[in-house]
Structure 1
Amino acid sequence: MEIRISRNLYIILTIDVILLLLSFYVAHLIRFDFMIPEWALEKFFNMLPYVLVVKTFCFYFFDLYRGMWRYTSLNDLLNVVKASTIAELIVIVIVLYVNRFQDVSRSVFIIDWCLTLIFIAALRVLTRIIFEQFTENISFQDLKEIILNIFKIRSKNSRGVIIIGAGDCGEKICREIREDASLKYHVDGFLDDDLSKIGRKIHGISVLDKIEGLSHAIKSTESKEAIIAIPSLKVEKMRQIVNICREADIIFKTVPSMGELINGKVTINLIRDVEYRDLLGRDPVDLEKEKIGQYLGKKKVIVTGGGGSIG
């Protein structure tokens, strides 16, 4: 587990050491009702070097200094839990071996473990949020949008959308809209025909009603657009939803079908207008226009039947 020594690593280590020291000290404050007696304070300073060394070593062992904080994931947070737990157990064993917990409060270690998890995990999550929101090329307008989004204030330049479909696809679209201030959108609500979802929330945004309640949802939220976020939608249901959107007189778009998604990932960039192929139930026929033109020449033809047969 080789780690490249850099200025950033020194900064990370320094911050972690400060947080670990703060965690251990606050644990003593909480344990002794914010009035630490002299004997407990003396024990605090005696144990502090062991605590810092052991925890730093465990953080290193569990690769907490190899990952990039801007991409902090659930796996990284699990490593924080593992490293903190094992480090705390090692410290307890050391204290037990040295003085058999004489004049040492056992509850301090439990409190310290909880605070360590909170401080270390919160720092990494906060770093990721900052990097996701504040990019190098961020403009003043983007910064304004981010601040408004944090405090749930809608910008005048932001267009409200209703997401039809409160599933995985709808959640991904909602999350991307919330995280990318440059999109100039805000999600007003979800619609879904699953009655168990109505009234529940996704990223703090409510599932308002069934899909057929689109008109009422638009009136109550003053949304400008609707996004059909159900890739597995059957043709009959797609036609029904399209008719509901037209009756509501709202701009509507859709995500590609599952057949069009190569890797199964849906992003805001894949959203497009509803096309005839979405309503056909089959792939559109690609006619060989040049050959047909050569065969028909300048003849007049009549197209009859819904299947488009030529007679």
Structure 2
Amino acid sequence: MMKKLILLLRKFYCLLPVILYDIAAIPISWYGAYWLRYNLHPYPSILNSTHSVIALISLSVVQIGCYYYCKIYRGLWRFFSLNDVLRIVKATVSTVVLVIPFFYLTSLLNYVPRSVFPLYCMILATLLCSGRLICRLHWDKRSHDNKETDIKKVLIVGAGLAGEGLVRDLKRGSPYKLIGFVDDNISKTGLEVHGIRVLGTTRQIVEFVNRYSVDLIFIAIPSARSSTMRRIVTHCEASKVAFRTLPGISALAAGRVEVNALRPVNIEDLLGRDEVTLQWDKIAASVLGKRILVTGGGGSIGSELCRQVLALKPAGLTIVENSEFNLYKIEQELKEHFQEIPITSALVSVTDEIAINHVFEHFQPEIVFHAAAYKHVPMLQNQIRVAVYNNVLGTQTVAKASVNYGVEKFILISTDKAVNPTNIMGTTKRVAEIYCQNLNDKVETQFITVRFGNVLGSAGSVVPLFQKQLQAGGPLTVTHPDMQRYFMTIPEACQLILQAMVNGHGGEIFVLDMGEPVKISYLAEQMIRLAGKEPGKDILIEYTGLRPGEKLYEELFHESEQLASTEHEKLFKAKFRELEWNELTQTMRMINTACSEYQEGELLILLRSLVPEFQTSELIVV
């Protein structure tokens, strides 16, 4: 109790000068209003009356009460803002609204000219605001003077809402001197934002950096397309000064634009694509209250699917994963952030039929996302049986369990390497597609396939490899100068998987719009530049030649597959190839037998019978 009293007294002591200033402003404003009302007469005779003194005392009591009620002492003068102005206006107007009826009932209104009230409001609000504003300007100047030696000149790219918010935050005593804006909207050139001028367009970045000796460039365009970011970054790199960017719109949605949100530009900013508008209402309705199962839930795609699904409040989530470490890691993360939703983990391989059936029987999932697969192309070229056993028979095992235990929807996560495959991995994924799509017509469970290209930052992808090589000082190894790949971010890939789940009714192969393919050599060069190095000078790029099973170009659909649009502009449907069901099931039995007997030569023949477009000569058959 004593501590609270001491803290209260200390707070009151700190506020005492402020309170005394605000109280002194009341009679000054009241008499000032009379003075203006009577045409600047030095001392109007009406103020000599007792009624005038009573009116002032009454007004002061009410005004002090309104100060407290409207919380005008919550804001520090050093950070005086529009919110503080609104509180002051509210306090002054509230006082007048309250005292007028009181003056009327006590006949004091007969001695107060009506025009005094609005004049009083204006004068008092001006006095209170000006005192606080002067204090803020004083503190800003002191802060600026103290940091003058360490001050850095900043050029801001983007004179929109994000740029305006960034300027507002930078002016709060930060060690930066704002030189100006650049913006590609030429109608803004010459205009000002909070007193900071728009100098020109992004093409003039190098010119302005040299002219004004700029130290830093801040990119404040969170909605920028990747093509726009690539162009801006090219100009920033040419200027030879450091540059940072605000995160995307989704990342900023939870808070205001501020200096602390600035971060280095990463490769996702340059290769990521436009923000995707999803039918979140339909997606949420499809997941809400449902039991969800994700195989491969500890992998890059599987773990992100778990995060996004849990955000939509399912009845429960079951994670199937054969890596002990990955399962432990994702389970700990999810249970920390989604404590209200039951999360169960199963250390199970999708090839273990008994264990998979036990999991399905126990948890009764309603929607299954099958993300478990082996994906390393060169390694699987020499591991035919392992690839088939996991990617083909594992998919069959989970699909059968889904049918037997009444799963509503089964979503198979596939790859662009399944189109005209030149490697074992892509061929096994193509067989998994064929099996699921043909099974769809025989059962009530809806089997939906989603096919997309490379995801940025996934385990085993080129981005983590390049990052590791950069840390080691290079060189960055690229297989071929002309190699191209489709890229998207992991969150976006998972969002479109959820969208495909909603749009699919069974039997579809959904192809995600991956945008334009990107040369791996360009990716390597950009990652070197983003690390502040010069490609070919500081860090070398070494071309090693195509690895077994690799293609220069990937395709998202087969030439015989007819693409059709869907409700969503980023999703297309590819018509799958129908096979005679008995023939397909017979081939699957033969595949099972060949795996059991470790006949990799027979497996290769069976794969080619199901996927005749499979072309490769670089295989080691044991």
Tell me the TM-score normalised to structure 2 length.
Answer: 0.40
Q: Does 1:80 align with 2:88?
A: yes
**Does residue 1:17 correspond to 2:23, yes or no?**
yes
Q: In structure 2, how many angstroms separate the alpha carbons of the residues matched to 1:259 and 1:266? A: 12
What is the CA–CA distance in structure 1 between the aligned matches of 2:202 and 2:210, rounded to whole Å?
Answer: 14
| CA deviation profile, 1:176-229 (whole Å, cap 9, x unmatched) | 322134x3x211000111233222211110111122222333344332332222
Alpha-carbon contact 1:302-1:310 (below 8 Å) kept: no
Matched residues in 2 for 1:260 and 1:271: separation? 11
Aligned to 1:113: 121
Q: CA-to-partner distance for each residue in 1:245-276, whole Å, 9 max, x for gaps? A: 23444433323334555735443234333333
Structure 2 CA distance for partners of 1:86 and 1:253, relative to 1, 3 Å: closer
1:167 to 156, 160, 168: 160
Deviation at 1:53, TM superposition (A): 1.4
Q: Offset at 1:285?
A: 4.2
| Paired AA for residue 158 in structure 2 | G
- Give the 3 Å change call, closer, same or farther, for CA 62–198 of structure 1 in structure 2: same
The answer to whether the 8 A contact 1:40-1:104 is kept is: no
Aligned pair partner of 1:54 in 49, 55, 62: 62
Distance 1:302 1:186, change over 3 A: closer
Determine whether 1:29 maps to 2:35. Answer: yes
Q: Which of 66, 69, 91 is matched with 2:76 structurally?
A: 69
- For residue 229 of structure 2, the aligned residue among 217, 238, 245 is 238
Aligned residues: 281
Change (3 A) 1:21 1:174: same
Distance 2:210 2:144 in 1: 30
Alignment partner, residue 207 of structure 1: 198
More displaced, 84-93 or 232-241? Answer: 84-93
Report deviation, 1:106: 2.7
Secondary structure in 1 aligned to 2:177?
A: strand
Paired with 2:478 and 2:171, the residues of 1 have a C-alpha distance of: 52
Say yes or no: does 1:38 pair with 2:39.
no
Query: 2:165 touches 2:256 (CA, 8 Å); kept in 1?
Result: no
SS at match of 1:230: coil
Q: Does the 8 A contact of 2:63 with 2:92 survive in 1?
A: yes
- Give distance in 2, aligned partners of 1:75 and 1:48: 28
Deviations 1:98-156 (A, max 9, x none): 4475454332222111112222344455566677x59xxxxx8x46247xxxxxxxx46
Structure 1 residues 286, 130: CA separation in 2 closer, same or farther (over 3 Å shift)?
farther
| Structure 1 partner of 2:99 | 91
Change (3 A) 1:187 1:73: closer
Q: Which amino acid aligns with 1:310?
A: R
Q: Compared with structure 1, are the counterparts of its residues 83 and 256 closer, same or farther at alpha carbon in structure 2 (3 Å cutoff)?
A: closer
Query: Which one has a bigger Cα radius of gyration?
Result: 2
- Equivalence for 1:297: none
Aligned to 1:177: 170
Distance of 2:220 and 2:457 partners within structure 1: 22
Question: 1:276 matched to which residue of 2?
Answer: 267
Deviation at 1:24, TM superposition (A): 0.9
Give ranges in structure 1 of 5+ residues lacking alignment.
135-139, 147-154, 293-300
Structure-2 residue corresponding to 1:152 = none
1:306 aligns with 2:484: yes
The 8 Å contact of residues 151 and 177 in structure 2, kept in 1 or not, is answered as yes
Q: Distance in 1 between matches of 2:66 and 2:76?
A: 18
Which one-letter code corresponds to 1:14 in the other structure?
L
| Paired residue secondary structure (2:186) | coil
1:310 is paired with a residue of what secondary structure? coil
Match of 2:460 in 1: 287
- Determine the C-alpha separation between the residues in 1 that align with 2:248 and 2:69: 44
Change in 2 beyond 3 A, CA 1:226/1:46:
same
What amino acid is the match of 2:162? C
- The offset of 1:49, in angstroms, is 0.9
CA distance in 1, matches of 2:81, 2:220: 25
> For the structure 1 residues 192 and 143, does the alpha-carbon distance in structure 2 shift closer, same or farther, using more than 3 Å as the test?
closer
Q: Is the 8 A contact 2:218 2:243 kept in 1?
A: yes
**Residues 36 and 60 of structure 1, relative CA distance in 2, 3 Å threshold:** same
The answer as to whether partners of 2:72 and 2:84 remain within 8 angstroms in 1 is: yes
For the Cα contact (< 8 Å) 1:258–1:264, is it kept in 2?
Answer: no
Deviation at 1:242, TM superposition (A): 1.7
* Residues 40 and 103, structure 1, Cα contact 8 Å, conserved in 2: no
1:295 paired residue number: none
Kept after mapping to 1: 8 A contact 2:203/2:235: yes
Distance 1:265 1:82 in 2: 25
- For 1:210 and 1:263, the matched residues in 2 are separated by 30
Which shows bigger deviation, 244-253 or 4-13?
A: 4-13
- Identical aligned pairs, as a percentage? 26
Root-mean-square deviation (CA, aligned residues, Å) is 3.5
- Structure 1 range deviating more: 106-115 or 269-278: 269-278
Distance 1:262 1:310 in 2: 43
1:69 and 1:128 in contact (8 A); partners too: no
